Amino acid sequence: MRNFFLGCAALAALAPPAAAGGFPVCFYGVSEPASLAILRNSGFNCFQTYLDDPDKLAGLAETALGLDMRMLAPPYKVMESAHAEKARKWPILAWYLKDEPEVSWTKPEELLAMDRRVKAWSPKQATAFVMGHGFPSFTYGAAADAVMVDWYPVPHLPPESVGRELALAREGVRAADTTRPEKPLWAVLQAFDWLEHPQRRKKRVGGWPTSGQVRFMTWLAVARGASGIFYFKYSDSKGVPLPQRPELWSRYTRVAAELNAMSKVLMKGKDIPLPEGLDERLTGRGLKRWWRRYAIVLNPTAAAVPLNAEALKGWRPLFEVRRDLPESLPPYSVLILEK
């Protein structure tokens, strides 16, 4: 265990800083400018806020600009405020059109109208909205420049369901937006305990995702084509920021360091097949940048799966304490390889 934490500490120290123009690694629900330096120093390059007060958003934008961060924020009050002109040059990752339109029964044409209104005001800044699962993308997928899916399975559903919902969302976007079928798809992953939220079942269940589950869901999302990762959310239901709970916070900063180290590969790499000869129960994604090849190998099953040493000859693990290949991949785990 001691070696594990030493390895994580070394990874955090050696990982490159999270650049705003790199692969988006973000946290939801940020409302204080003072939180941004904590996020930035922990490996996150963007954030989402529910604040819509134009003055408060201007303060967040000014701080974000100084820290080389980008933000996802509601546009509607800003558009009608004294900040409207300057806001067109804020460090916006995307303007946040709507939170789960399927829940409020928003009509597709209404969401499209929101998108057009924001783009008419600020045509050079992107727009985005989030859905609670993948299927609504068949209804809403034509709207916005980026589509987001929030899916929080722990402990109700197996963690591999994250990949299913993202794959479904991509199919919906392809069907609904034939002019932009491959537009960005961002995953919003779980950083909370379901016990803090209402549940329909009589016997309430909950628990935070473990470090292994956070890592597995993150890299599974990347393997299913997510071009940005968000975690929901920065503070718990009592308003306590996650960085004040170091054991939990480290589960997310470790993966942020890995994503930052792989940022250029994820942003500019070319998709290639995984190495031949792997067990068919394994899944993942292959990438190539310059002369190097990378393999994101995941085990989405509840049992350990053997690794074919011959198929992986010449590949070396990244982000692991041991650099030799393991004999098998544990349940719901990931191995990042380089050759």
Determine contact, residues 286/265, Cβ cutoff 8 Å. no
How far apart are alpha carbons 260 and 306 in whole angstroms? 29
Which residue, chain included where needed, has tokens 């180290």?
261
**Where do we find the tokens 């390895």?**
7
Same domain, yes or no: 243 and 322: no
| 117 in the same domain as 96 | yes
How far apart CA 132 and CA 129 sit, in angstroms, is 10
Count the domains in the chain.
2
Name the residue with tokens 């067990």: 279
Yes or no: say if 336 and 318 are a contact pair by the CB < 8 Å rule: yes
Identity at 320, one-letter amino acid code: E
Task: Say yes or no: 66 and 161 in one domain.
Answer: yes
- Assess whether 137 and 275 both reside in one domain: no
Same domain, 234 and 293: no
For residue 261, give the nearest of 6, 8, 14, 10 by alpha carbon. Answer: 14
Between CA 96 and CA 230 the distance in angstroms is: 13
Let me know whether 256 and 275 are in one domain: no
Out of 247, 268, 289, a domain closes at 268
Domain termination residue (choose one: 217, 247, 268): 268
CATH number, residue 38: 3.20.20.80
Q: What digits encode the pLDDT tens for the residues 267-279?
A: 999 999 999 999 9
| 224 close to 163: Cβ distance less than 8 angstroms | yes
Same domain as 274, residue 145: no
Q: What are phi and psi of 26, to 5 degrees?
A: -135, 165
Q: Do 240 and 329 have their domain in common?
A: no
The closest of 249, 239, 136 to 191, measured between CA atoms, is: 249
Q: Quick one: average pLDDT of 4-9?
A: 42
Structure letter (DSSP) for residue 276 = T
Q: How confident is the model at residue 163 (pLDDT cuts 50, 70, 90)?
A: very high
| Domain coverage including residue 15 | 2-268
Domain shared by 188 and 327, yes or no: no
222 and 326 both lie in a single domain: no
Coil, strand or helix at 12: helix
pLDDT (tens digit per residue) in 288-327: 999 999 999 999 999 999 999 999 999 999 999 888 899 9
Domain match, 120 and 69 both: yes
> Which candidate, 259, 264, 328, places its Cα nearest to that of 292?
264
Does 202 share its domain with 330? Answer: no
Query: Mean pLDDT over residues 24-38, rounded?
Result: 98
Q: What is the pLDDT of residue 205?
A: 86
* 81-92 residue pLDDT tens: 999 999 999 999
Contact 72, 24 (CB under 8 A): no
pLDDT band (50, 70, 90) for residue 201: confident
Note the pLDDT tens digit of each residue in 115-125.
999 999 999 99
Kindly list the distances between the CA atom of residue 186 and the CA atoms of 2, 52, 135, 219, 222, in Å, as whole numbers in the listed order. Answer: 34, 22, 15, 13, 9
- pTM recorded for the entire structure: 0.93
324: domain CATH number is: 2.60.40.1180
Task: For residue 49, give the nearest of 99, 124, 113 by alpha carbon.
Answer: 99
Provide the pLDDT for residue 20.
Answer: 58
- Show which of 239, 268, 297 is a domain's final residue: 268
Q: pLDDT exceeding 70 applies to what percent of the chain?
A: 94
